[in-house]
Amino acid sequence: MLLQFHPWASAVEASFWQVLTQRKMDIFKLDDSQKSILGYYSTGQQVRIPGKDTSVALPARLCLGTGAFPDEHDKGHGPTNRNPAFTFPAPGIIKNTNTVEDFKALDKTALFKMTVDQIWADITSGAAVLDPSVLNRFLVVTFADLKKFKFFYWFAFPALQADPAWTMDDMREIGAVWSQSQINSLRENMDQYRQAFPSNQSGFFLVKQDGDSTSVARLQDWGEFYAGCEESEVIIGFADPSSLGSHPGWPLRNFLALIQQTWKVTTMRVLCFREVPGKQDINASKLFTAHVSSSAPLTVCPKAAGWEKNALGKLGPRLADLAPLMDPTRLADTAV
Amino acid sequence: MNSVQNIFFGIREYLSPVLKNSKFKETGCITPEEFEAAGDFLVYKCPTWSWEGGEPSKRRDYLHPDKQFLITRNVPCLRRVKQMEYTDEDAEMQIESDGADPWVMSHSSRVSGGPIEEIAGSMDEDEDEEAEAEAQAQAAIKAMERLDLKDLQSAADDDDDDEEIPDMDDIPDMDDFDDMEEEADPATLAPAVPTDVGSGQSDKILSVRTYDVFITYDKYYQTPRMWLFGYDEHRRPLVSSQIFEDVSQDYAKKTVTIETHPHLNMSLASIHPCRHGAVMKKIIEKVANDEGKDEPVRVDQYLIIFLKFMSSVVPTIDYDNTISA
């Protein structure tokens, strides 16, 4: 069965536009060069339908919030670039144009290619082994109409396309494969892992099973961690934003490309780590086996996909209209 | 007009003294220190809530710089309040109020509905605030009990009232992106058609409204105050009329207003705190009575109780799903 990935849905917090507006007016001014930003995501969530015994899957959201920009004049007012608890980081690039004409005329293909090249360079150089969060690298092009409080934006989440493509067997509940004590052991080890290492390690990791216990390690510890192990004992884990019972989320795509390129593994088990934040519950996690027919390392950057579709389901920008919330003249209308 | 009002609120807040001594059991009000303690407890109990510092220029010095307000993000809101139907179990309930005729609360077993409206409407606005607070507290308690049962009567089956497809006018001058073509990518899972809520298929994605929910400390009313920022199914910000669809009809437009967030340069829907103190006092008394006098309600539990109370105002915004207390 062809391994298909559940794509991202962008989710910009309204307060991000506020921060962007301030940056634009106070710092960037007419400088429209690309800036680094930091997004975040949680693992996939399902919600129970009230009064029913079923739940539904929610979109895999990649979010931008108030902590998206690094603080350029931090005066010691606490940490900045801070993401909420139980989230995983995704570094990105924002290209904010000065005019709507610039926005339309942007060479989006070139920007996309640039981001893809960066991801590919990080994979081939091994930088992504040391900092796997760069596998989530994304691009957002924006135009902020500061007079009308309208924000046009378009995200791209580049994913390298594997050729030949990856295949998978049936995805199974973790509880159907592992015992509860194994699951508990994984949960405890994941908690420790996330405390022990910086957040850029948290989204991608290695898992090993030994009887009732499991262990978790960083990608850079692969050699030591899997020393003496068969290929069939390799379990790669990632924080999975997908909540679907049958498909993993987008971050796995570039992760598999990294694994294939670096360690030449063709068959491995994949742990889709999904937690209920704060509830010490990881039973929504899934396991499956991924397989690819060729392990020959690539010498050129593969093709990539990943522009987000808009509300109409077409490739095109989205619009956040904050006039009702930010425009002083409009605010008067809603005042009571 | 709004700015005049904001200036007035600003001055009023500036002039109000910071509440120093704890009197949450007597009045339902809390001090900034108690707000922080209750906030810490909430974050500890429900880690999806977190503290934020907000705008440095709007920082209140009676609150910790990094603990100016609380926020939880991306809270799903599956359906509109109007979809919560009346049921046969709707019961009538009498509320005794001192020295006055008992109020009859029809449909009191419903999570949301008219009782408070009826009560409020049948009373002189400024008279007998005590009774109104009592009624509101009763309704809230009742609603909380219902919520605890997770028995929100569901009209979910017809929840697929897809928002009308936005037309291109939404994005003026943006319709010339035809040059953007992406080759078909077989490994990209095709977006599923949004499903009925009732179908129970976990293999389809349901696009739902989401809310960012904020709790600030209101110095004038000396209570927490809840703020809401909503996004539609396509992640576009909701306008106030849409947000009112997610507010219990008892409160919409009456106690829910659009005001400037104290720590952000933005206007948000907020549940006006003018009666929070009185209602919280009643609820705390009720909870204390239920749980026996041995273990009085602690002030750090205040926000957990407050959130239960708020869920009677915004019954379909499910921030409660992580609260185990």
CA angle A285, A289, A290 (to 5 degrees): 115
| Selection from A255, A178, A239 nearest residue A210 by Cα | A178
A19–B contact, CB cutoff 8 A:
no
In a domain? residue B82 = yes
For residue B305, being part of any structural domain is answered with: yes
DSSP category for residue A158 = E
Which residues 248-267 in chain B show a CB within 8 A of chain A?
253, 257-258, 260, 264-267
Interface of B with A in 139-168 (CB under 8 A): 150-154, 156, 165-166, 168
Q: Is residue B267 a part of any domain in this protein? A: yes
Could you read off the pLDDT tens digit of each residue along chain B, which spans 325 residues? 556 677 777 777 767 777 767 788 888 999 999 999 999 999 988 888 999 888 888 889 999 998 999 999 989 998 888 877 443 334 344 344 444 444 444 443 333 333 333 333 333 444 455 666 777 777 776 666 655 433 333 333 333 333 333 444 445 455 555 556 667 788 888 765 544 444 444 466 778 899 999 999 999 999 999 999 999 988 999 988 899 899 988 777 778 888 889 988 888 899 999 889 999 998 888 877 776 655 677 888 899 999 988 988 898 888 865 444 3
Domain contains B167: no
Number of compact structural domains in chain B: 1
Query: Which tokens is B134 given?
Result: 């009592």
Which pairs from B125-133 meet CB under 8 Å and 24+ separation?
A: B128/B97, B128/B100, B129/B275, B129/B278, B130/B97, B130/B98, B130/B278, B131/B97, B131/B98, B131/B100, B131/B103, B132/B275, B133/B275, B133/B278, B133/B279, B133/B281, B133/B282
Q: Which of B69, B206, B216, B227 to mutate to test the interface with A (most CBs of A within 10 A)?
A: B206
Q: What is the mean pLDDT of chain A?
A: 90
Q: Is B73 within 8 Å of A13 when comparing Cβ atoms?
A: yes
Sign (positive or negative) of CA dihedral A141, A144, A145, A148: positive
Host domain of residue B292: 19-158+207-325
ipTM: 0.86
Asked if A57's CB is within 8 angstroms of B235's CB, the reply is no
- pTM tops 0.90, yes or no: no
Cα(A118)–Cα(A112) distance, integer angstroms = 10
Distance between B207 CA and the closest CA of chain A, angstroms: 7
Nearest to A135 by CA among A171, A176, A103, A90: A90
Residue B211 lies in a domain: yes
To the nearest whole Å, the CA of A37 is away from the closest chain B CA by 18
Is residue B76 one of the residues assigned to a domain? yes
Q: How many CB pairs under 8 A join A and B?
A: 234
* Residue B195, in any domain of the structure: no
Q: How far is CA A300 from CA A124, A138, A166, A249, A254, in A?
A: 10, 20, 18, 25, 15
CA distance A120 to A259: 12
B4, two tokens: 């005049």
Segment A111-138 shows an average pLDDT of 97
Dist CA A266 CA A307 (whole Å): 28
Looking at A173-177, A291-295, A316-320, which range is the least confident one? A291-295
| 47-86 in chain A: CB under 8 A from chain B | 47-59, 61, 63, 65-66, 77-78, 84-86
Which helix (H) or strand (E) segment is A187 a member of?
A: helix A180-196
Closest residue to A51, CB basis, from B5, B154, B205: B154
- Residue B282 within a domain: yes
Q: Do B66 and A78 touch (CB under 8 A)?
A: yes
The CA-based angle A110-A116-A121, given to 5 degrees, is 125
Query: Going from the N-terminus, what domains does chain A have, and what CATH number goes with each?
Result: 9-160+302-334 (3.40.140.70), 167-291 (3.40.140.100)
List the single best residue of B48, B69, B110, B232 to mutate versus A (max A Cβ within 10 A): B48
Averaged pLDDT for residues A287-314: 89
CB contact under 8 Å between B170 and A66, yes or no, is no
Residue numbers in A near B170 (CB within 8 A): 311, 319
